[in-house]
Amino acid sequence: MAKQYRILTAAAAAIALTFGAAHAATTDAPPPPPGAPAAMSGPGGHGGHRMEMRMQKQLDQLHGQLKLNADQEKLWQTALTTMKQNHQQMRESFRQMHDQMKSMDNQPILDLNAMYAAHQKVEQQNTQLREQTATAWLNFYNALNDQQKTTVSTALKNHFAKMREHEQKMHERWGKHRGGPDGAPGAAAGASATAKP
């Protein structure tokens, strides 16, 4: 049951990610460790603006392909507005957590309980926001006819394929960085003492 729920949540998040909610979907990534820089850990971090623009372009393209009726258009706009507002709230909560963690740097003894509590609070808030965004997109998706769902499904499949390709490239890069295609530490340790990074 829990596994099915996770699959459903992932599917809903994928819809949000593919159609402009990069921000909502990035929150499905593992939570950042306490003290992680906001640029690396939260929505709107490094490269976030480029991703937003790319996702908005995909959104606009899909919107044009779907030829929505008036009721479907309302659901689209609701999902879009929900996604953008929730992303903004999530961005703000990550920023606040980052500021709080930064202020703790000056303490000689870290209050790990406070750090954990702050992290948990942000995660709970963001979980609710993710659910709202996913529900809004699912409401929109469920109002589509089969032809429109096929268009959405095709876009999702293409997106999944690109994600897998990107992931594969990252694994290959990491393998080379670690010294071998399998990423085993020290795999190329003795290969060349003069190898340049």
Region 143-156: mean pLDDT is 95
pLDDT of residue 105: 80
Region 179-196: mean pLDDT is 48
pTM (2 d.p.): 0.65
In a domain, 170, yes or no: no
pLDDT of residue 41: 38
Taking only the tens place, the pLDDT of each residue in 8-36 is 555 555 565 555 444 344 434 433 333 33
CB 100 within 8 A of CB 92: no
- How far CA 50 is from CA of 46, 53, 67, 151, 183, in Å, comes to 9, 5, 27, 25, 30
In a domain, 109, yes or no: yes
pLDDT of residue 20: 46
Phi then psi for residue 145, to 5 deg, are -85, 175
In a domain, 34, yes or no: yes
pLDDT of residue 19: 54
In a domain, 191, yes or no: no
Q: Would the pLDDT of 97 be above 80?
A: yes
In a domain, 158, yes or no: no
In a domain, 111, yes or no: yes
d(CA 192, CA 195): 5
Query: CA neighbours within 13 Å on the CB side: how many for 164?
Result: 6
Taking only the tens place, the pLDDT of each residue in 158-183 is 888 888 998 898 988 888 777 655 54
Region 112-139: mean pLDDT is 93
Domain count across the chain: 1
In a domain, 171, yes or no: no
Q: Which residue range(s) make up the domain with 71?
A: 2-145
CB 10 within 8 A of CB 28: yes
Q: Would the pLDDT of 118 be above 90?
A: no
Taking only the tens place, the pLDDT of each residue in 32-49 is 333 333 333 344 454 567
In a domain, 137, yes or no: yes
Torsion over CA of 94, 96, 97 and 102, rounded to 10 degrees?
Answer: 120
Q: How confident is the model at residue 99 (pLDDT cuts 50, 70, 90)?
A: confident
- 53 vs 82 pLDDT, higher one: 82
SS (H, E, C) 159-172: HHHHHHHHHHHHHH
* CA 104, 105, 108, 111 torsion-angle sign: positive
Most confident of 37-51, 105-119, 179-193: 105-119
